[in-house]
């Protein structure tokens, strides 16, 4: 993102801009990892009660939906943004009745068309699933519906879901879906599926809504140039920590795609008015290990920065939520699997153009007193 | 916390109650660990830009203050709750000027009485600290003030702070404080101090405001009893995961203190109408490993639950922020060091009374089909 304006105004929005982009990028990234681990099975966002504040829950649910979740148990995110609200029964429903069987019956009579029963209040295989099958037969099928599903929220999901699947199938409910929840994330979901868990939908709570494996998204907002008498003067901030050295100047960001596979090859940061000639080979290089170089051919380039505000006026039409979600899915499709790997992923390159690097090198020399 | 009311009403508030208590308890816990690591040095909350949403920043800053931080860079938390707003200059201030020296001069002339200079924009020891000393001498002291401090935001804090301390002392600014920031947490602060870092104040950002080492606080809200015709019927939820089995009934929570040291010995959960006789030995036992037993003598007991709402009316006068902060400090003082250890702390016991355990055991037997 580039913000160009009077310094006081640009400074005023710093914290809110960073907080918004950092938070929602964080949750979208985590949610997308979980959605990918689930391999075409639906993922529902269930984390509101463990979110870091009200906005954490509501905007987090929106980000999770954009990243590929099917919906959320946060009904406020439905009201505010149209994120589909989803959910199943609660343990308290089961506990309120004298017995699990009576609780299931009352629920099935109320929602025969949407009957998903929570089967782990007492004992999944000895009580929950048998009672669910009984109620599906006695209350759902006679009303002309098929049972929707059962949900398992504790215990060993692999074992319980496989046994439950077998019991449901034997009862003729092959179409009854199994929902699993309980401190899930991309790693646990991956392992459950490798072990043959029979889960059709995942409800994912605390580890998604807080991005537990890495709850910090480290975006920064740095002064990179000032304008004096119409002239842009690039500025730098140095650091012993190489990653904290800023890229000076007024810049553009490009994504370079392979012309055949349409996969993203790298991002390239250039000076704002640079052009990229797609018909010539382009040499790119690592901005830290500058001796690591690569020449691209058969590529095309797309500018990633689009104007949002111009002279204080919003000139951008915000896409609908579904369009943002589609864009996310399409963009994820342009990344190589190696980059999407959960552990030790291949690095996605974000390089600097030679022109930008020259500006940076000059400033490094000018300000450096190493 | 105990909520007693019509089930629909009690259910409606579930998510917001949990989210609020989980989030703020999480941040207060993390902040208190960091404050303790700093050993009487001030800790400032600097994390807004990395918070998980607006509420994450504002309520997080409040929780951090309650837990012992001295203030926050989140000015909205000052406006909303009176958390003291604190801060130093930004890198962008330094970058906006033709040179660091000119930036420092302009700042010192504007805030001669509150002059803390950020010395790591270019090079801490070769540029930042020498320029700061020069400006303290030329702009601050002649105006009748003493320099407030310098801030180091990158690089090796131990080495840089020790060298900076030496340079400041040699220049006669022994009272000039050194502020350090840069992805700090309780572990890094502890290690910095062990290695002799000369830091007087810590600015702690992303790892505090997201509780990075554990961003999930797992409080739950469970149905534990229903009332039928004036009779309270305790309810339980079972689970293969022992920690997920609920404690049935309408309950009270007590904290038991040693009469001599005034240290907290354990918390004890009892049925609501139970009394504790402080003059008799009290046998307590682990609610999971019930054979682990201990007899307490010379103790006193304090009820932890106080009425907040009665018949829909708030009957509780919310203490002032400073009083909550004082209460937190006093309560932390009642915990043994072993329990406060960052790694492998000794377990603080939360036990059940024999009466409550009997109710639970009956329900375990009644519902269990293991």
**Per-residue pLDDT tens for A223-242?**
999 999 989 999 999 988 88
For chains A and B, CB pairs below 8 A equal: 197
pLDDT tens digits, one per residue of A299-338: 999 999 999 999 889 999 999 999 999 999 999 999 999 9
Determine whether the interchain pair A49/B369 forms a contact, defined as Cβ–Cβ distance below 8 Å.
no
Minimal Cβ distance to B216: which of A58, A206, A226: A206
pLDDT for A369 beyond 70: no
Query: Measured between CB atoms, which of B18, B49, B244 is closest to A18?
Result: B49
How far off is chain A from B139, nearest CA to CA, in Å?
A: 24
Helices (H), chain B: 7-12, 14-37, 54-66, 75-81, 91-96, 100-110, 129-135, 157-170, 186-194, 206-209, 321-332, 337-340, 354-367
Q: Say yes or no: A205 and A233 in one domain.
A: no
Task: Convert the pLDDT of each residue in B240-271 to its tens digit.
Answer: 888 889 999 999 999 999 999 999 999 999 99
> Which residue, among A254, A279, A287, A285, has the nearest Cα to A269 in the 3D structure?
A254
Mean pLDDT of B37-50: 97
Domain match, A45 and A127 both? yes
User: Which of B9, B26, B49, B153 to probe by mutation at the A interface, max A CB count within 10 Å?
Assistant: B49
The per-residue pLDDT for range A165-221, each reduced to its tens digit, is 999 999 999 999 999 999 999 999 999 999 999 999 999 999 999 999 999 999 999
* Whether residues A113 and A240 fall in one domain: no
User: How far away is chain A from the Cα of B339, in angstroms, using its nearest Cα?
Assistant: 24
Q: How many whole angstroms separate alpha carbon B139 and alpha carbon A151?
A: 69
Indicate the helix (H) or strand (E) that contains A327.
helix A321-332
H/E stretch holding A177 reads strand A177-180
β partners of residue A267: A255, A350
State the Cα–Cα distance between residues B42 and B247, nearest whole angstrom: 40
Least CB-CB distance to B52: which of A14, A56, A238?
Answer: A56
User: Residue B350 and residue B348: Cα distance in Å, rounded?
Assistant: 7
Residue of A18, A55, A156 lying closest to B56 (CB–CB): A55
What strands, in cross-sheet order, belong to the sheet with A149-152?
A71-72, A42-45, A201-204, A177-180, A149-152, A116-118
Q: B205 and B119: one domain? A: yes
Indicate whether A73 and A169 sit together in one domain: yes
Does the residue B4 lie in any domain?
no
- With CA atoms as reference, the chain A residue closest to B20 would be A53
Q: Which residue from A77, A116, A113 is spatially nearest to A93, judged by alpha carbons?
A: A116
> Which of A148-162, A231-245, A264-278, B259-273 is predicted with the least confidence, judged by mean pLDDT?
A231-245
Nearest CA of chain A to the CA of B225: how many Å?
Answer: 8
- Measured between CA atoms, how close is B258 to chain A, in angstroms? 34
Chain A residues with CB under 8 Å of B48 CB are 15, 19
Nearest to B167 by CA among B150, B182, B145: B150
Q: Measured between CA atoms, how close is B23 to chain A, in angstroms?
A: 5
The tens digit of pLDDT for each residue in B273-300 reads 999 999 999 999 988 899 999 999 999 9
Same domain? For B149 and B54 the reply is: yes
Rounded percentage of chain A residues whose pLDDT exceeds 70: 99
**Chain centroid offset of residue A314 CA:** 26
**CB distance A285 to A369 below 8 Å:** no
Nearest chain A alpha carbon to B92: A223
The interface predicted TM-score of the complex, written ipTM, equals: 0.94
- pLDDT per residue as tens digits for the range A53-106: 999 999 999 999 999 999 999 999 999 999 999 988 999 999 999 999 999 999
| CATH number of residue B43's parent domain | 3.20.20.70
Query: Cβ A216–B212 below 8 Å, yes or no?
Result: yes
User: Can you tell me the mean pLDDT for B200-229?
Assistant: 96
Cβ distance of B240 and A7 shorter than 8 Å: no
In a domain, A214, yes or no: no
Residue B12 inside a domain? The answer is no
- 3-state percent breakdown (helix, strand, coil) of chain A, nearest 5: 40, 20, 40
Tell me how close the Cα of A211 comes to any Cα of chain B, in angstroms.
Answer: 8
Length in residues, chain A? 370
| B54:A19 CB<8 A | yes
pLDDT digits (tens, 9 = 90+) for B93-126: 999 999 999 999 999 999 999 999 999 999 999 9
Q: Which of A108, A70, A101 has the alpha carbon at shortest distance from A87?
A: A70
* A56 with B55: Cβ contact below 8 A: yes
Whether A220 is covered by a domain: the verdict is no
Residue A222 scores a pLDDT above 60: yes
- Is the separation of the CB atoms in A82 and A321 below 8 Å? yes
Give the count of beta carbons closer than 10 Å to the beta carbon of residue B319. Answer: 11
Q: Give contacts of B99 with chain A, Cβ < 8 Å.
A: none
Q: Are residues A49 and A159 in the same domain?
A: yes
Nearest by CB to residue A23, choosing from B16, B53, B207, is B53
Same domain, B162 and B244: no
Q: CA separation (Å) from B116 to A308, B42, B132?
A: 36, 15, 9
- Give the domain extent around B48: 22-209
Taking Cα atoms as reference points, which of B249, B184, B211, B328 lies closest to residue A50?
B211
CB nearest A49 (choices: B22, B48, B235): B22
CB neighbourhood size of A38 (10 A): 24
Q: How large is the C-alpha radius of gyration of chain B?
A: 26
Calculate the alpha carbon distances from B3 to B226, B264, B290, B302, B350 in Å: 11, 26, 28, 20, 20
State the Cα–Cα distance between residues B92 and A340, nearest whole angstrom.
35
Distance CA A345, CA A332 (A): 14
Closest Cα in chain B to A122: B238
Residue A36, token pair as written in the block:
């990918």
Q: Which of B19, B122, B218 sits opposite A48 (nearest CB)?
A: B19
- pLDDT over 50 at A364, yes or no: yes
pTM metric for this prediction: 0.96
The predicted structure's pLDDT at residue B312: 87
> CA of A91: which chain B residue's CA is closest?
B237
Q: How far apart are CA A213 and CA A38, in angstroms?
A: 17
Considering the domain architecture, whether residues A259 and A345 belong to the same structural domain is answered as yes
Note whether B72 and B45 are within 8 A (CB). Answer: yes
Residue B46's closest chain A neighbor by CA? A15
Query: In this structure, what CATH number is given to the domain that contains residue B289?
Result: 3.20.140.10
* Residue B329 within any structural domain of the chain: yes
Nearest to A53 among B55, B216, B244 (CB): B55
| Co-location of B178 and B239 in the same domain | no
The predicted pLDDT at position A143 comes to 97
Contact residues for A78 (Cβ-Cβ < 8 A; gap 6+): A72, A84, A85
DSSP 8-state class, residue B83: P
Asked if B369 and A241 come within 8 Å (Cβ–Cβ), the reply is no
Say whether A237 and B95 touch across the interface (CB within 8 A).
yes
**Angle, vertex CA A210, rays to CA A338 and CA A46, nearest 5:** 100
Please state, in angstroms and rounded to a whole number, the distance separating the CA atoms of residues A265 and B237: 52
Cα angle B150, B155, B159; round to 5: 75
Helical packing angle, B14-37 and B186-194, nearest 10°: 10
Q: Which of A209, A236, A258 is the last residue of a domain?
A: A209
Q: A52 and B53 in contact (C-beta within 8 Å)?
A: yes
Number of Cβ atoms within 10 Å of the Cβ of A303: 11
Residues of A within 8 A of B131 (CB-CB) are none
> Has residue A216 been placed in a domain?
no
Chain B neighbors of A210, CB-CB under 8 A: 52, 210, 215-216
- What is the C-alpha to C-alpha distance for residues B83 and B76, in angstroms, rounded to an integer? 9
Query: Distance from CA of residue A250 to its chain's centroid?
Result: 29
Q: Which tens digit of pLDDT belongs to each residue from A112-126?
A: 999 999 999 999 999
Are B121 and A57 a contacting pair at CB < 8 A?
Answer: no
Please calculate the CA angle A99-A100-A104 and round it to the nearest 5 degrees. Answer: 120
Interface residue of B18, B72, B215 to substitute, partner A, most A CBs within 10 Å: B215
Alpha carbon of A277: minimum distance to chain B alpha carbons (Å): 33
Is A6 among the domain residues? no
Whole-angstrom Cα distance, residue A251 to residue A270?
Answer: 6
For B208, the closest chain A residue by CA position comes to A216
Chain B contacts of A125, Cβ < 8 Å? none
Residue B239 and residue B198 in one domain: no
Cα–Cα dist B157/B164, whole Å: 10
**List of chain B residues whose C-beta atoms are within 8 Å of the C-beta of residue A92:** 7, 11, 222-223
| Contact call for A215 and B14, based on CB within 8 A | no
| Final residue before a domain boundary, out of B209, B243, B274 | B209
Dist CA B240 CA A125 (whole Å):
11
Residue A193 and residue A262 in one domain:
no
A47 domain-assigned: yes
Partner residue opposite B59 with nearest CB, options A53, A58, A96: A53
* Overall number of domains in chain A: 2
Residues of B in contact with A240 (CB under 8 A): 154-156
């Amino acid at each position: 993102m580039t913000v160009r304006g009077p310094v006081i105004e640009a400074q005023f929005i710093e914290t809110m801009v960073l907080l918004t982009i950092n938070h929602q990028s964080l949750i979208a990234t985590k949610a997308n990892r979980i959605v990918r681990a689930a391999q075409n099975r639906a993922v529902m966002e269930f984390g509101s009660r463990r979110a870091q504040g009200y906005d954490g829950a509501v905007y987090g649910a929106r980000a999770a939906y954009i990243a590929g979740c099917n919906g959320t148990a946060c009904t406020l995110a439905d009201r505010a943004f149209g994120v589909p609200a989803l959910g199943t029964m609660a343990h308290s429903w089961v506990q309120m009745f004298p017995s699990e069987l009576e609780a299931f019956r009352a629920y099935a009579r109320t929602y025969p068309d949407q009957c998903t029963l929570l089967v782990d209040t007492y004992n999944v295989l000895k009580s929950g699933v048998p009672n669910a099958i009984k109620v599906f037969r006695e209350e759902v099928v006679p009303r002309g519906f098929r049972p929707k599903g059962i949900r398992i929220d504790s215990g060993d999901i692999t074992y319980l879901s496989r046994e439950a699947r077998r019991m449901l199938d034997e009862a003729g409910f092959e179409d009854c879906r199994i929902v699993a929840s309980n401190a899930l994330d991309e790693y646990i979901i991956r392992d459950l599926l490798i072990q043959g868990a029979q889960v059709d939908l995942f409800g994912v709570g605390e580890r998604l809504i807080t991005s537990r494996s890495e709850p910090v998204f480290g975006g920064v907002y740095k002064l990179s140039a000032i304008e004096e008498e119409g002239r842009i003067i690039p500025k730098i901030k140095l650091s012993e920590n190489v990653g904290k050295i800023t890229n000076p100047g007024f810049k553009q960001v490009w994504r370079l795609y392979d012309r055949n596979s349409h996969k993203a090859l790298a991002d390239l940061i250039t000076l704002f008015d640079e052009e990229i000639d797609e018909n010539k080979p382009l040499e790119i290089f690592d901005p830290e290990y500058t001796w690591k170089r690569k020449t691209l051919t058969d590529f095309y380039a797309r500018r990633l920065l689009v104007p949002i505000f111009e002279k204080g006026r919003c000139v951008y039409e915000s896409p609908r939520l579904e369009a943002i979600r589609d864009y996310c899915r399409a963009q994820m499709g342009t990344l190589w699997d190696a980059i999407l790997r959960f552990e030790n992923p291949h690095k996605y390159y974000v390089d600097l153009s030679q022109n930008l690097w020259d500006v940076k090198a000059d400033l490094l020399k000018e300000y450096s007193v190493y």
